[in-house]
A = this chain, B = another copy of it.
């Protein structure tokens, strides 16, 4: 009894935290959801003169669409979100530097006495048909077409312990993980912390390099279709991702090696459970077969992904095959 639900938030409906916010809609496991998300600047950075520090007003940054209340979701369950499609909603996208934000500048926390880098905006042409985002330098006539690879930087559920967290922060509840691995075709898993899970989605990127070095990706409003499901009575310690070919665990923390440790620890534990390997045998396999794609090295927590090909794991299937079920369910909406 899958329903198809569309939701396009008004500006007033956008949320700026993951937490116990009033839900914008209720959904049920199996429902297909088509949502619109605004870009991280709330859509107000549109040209070279729109410096984010001037046209955006803290904390009204990185809005998310949601939260959605999932009927039946309780603490201890796992929420599965299968991303059927993530499509840039406009024919342009933007990027920028932002004062004292990013990996190659001192920041509010890696605090130095140096002034910030120049604040600068770049505008990208998005050509869906050609599948490219066009980079144009600001101080020369250099241009290059980069392949579109749309993703959501921010996806998560309400955190536990009565917390509400800025959408810009990634942590065990998800949030602003900013990993290019969260693209269409992937199922994301989150441990449920509060009744209804209260998930939300935002911060679309037409594409993003690993690490999001400048602090800002190719920011784009998105039209996104996803399928919702619930795995009852099964917990998930940190957000996980599954594609047709790979299993992925995430970790978000500082310093970066802790994000790496969390993600690898979860992957080693998960592979052990799926394959019956003991922890050291699983560690050995992941050590030789695994990948470690960097998410972001600029947000309030950094995000690392630990990734291994399913082909190396025998017949093991994660979460009882929900990824393939949701993919099939979503196929009609692609």
Contact = CB atoms under 8 A, between A and B. Distances in A.
A209 B284 CA distance: 10
Contacts of A118: 280
Interface stretch (A4-12, A26-34, A64-72, A250-258): A250-258
Interface stretch (A46-54, A285-293, A317-325): A285-293
Interface in A237-265: 251, 253-258, 260-262, 264-265
Contact of A104 (B113, B116, B207): B113
Given A17-B163, A120-B280, A140-B278, A290 B209 contact: yes
A281 B138 contact: yes
Interface stretch (A78-86, A181-189, A210-218, A224-232): A210-218
A160 B59 contact: yes
B256 A256 contact: yes
Q: Which of A104, A122, A287 has the most CB of B within 10 A?
A: A287
Contacts of A331: none
Given A209-B289, A287-B214, A103 B257 contact: yes
A199 interface: no
Contact of A283 (B208, B214, B281, B291): B214
Contact of A287 (B109, B161, B212, B278): B212
A128 to B, nearest CB: 17
A255 B257 contact: yes
B286 A213 contact: yes
Nearest to A20: B164
A330 to B, nearest CB: 28
A276 B137 CA distance: 10
A106 B97 contact: no
Interface string A20-41: 0000000000000000000000
B163 A166 contact: yes
B254 A97 contact: no
Nearest to A164: B164
A51 to B, nearest CB: 13
* A-B residue pairs, 5 tightest by C-beta: A59-B161, A255-B255, A256-B256, A214-B287, A111-B265
Given A106-B106, A261-B297, 20 more contacts: A17-B162, A19-B162, A19-B163, A105-B113, A109-B261, A112-B265, A114-B114, A137-B284, A140-B276, A140-B278, A142-B275, A142-B277, A144-B285, A163-B164, A211-B292, A213-B286, A254-B254, A255-B257, A256-B260, A257-B297
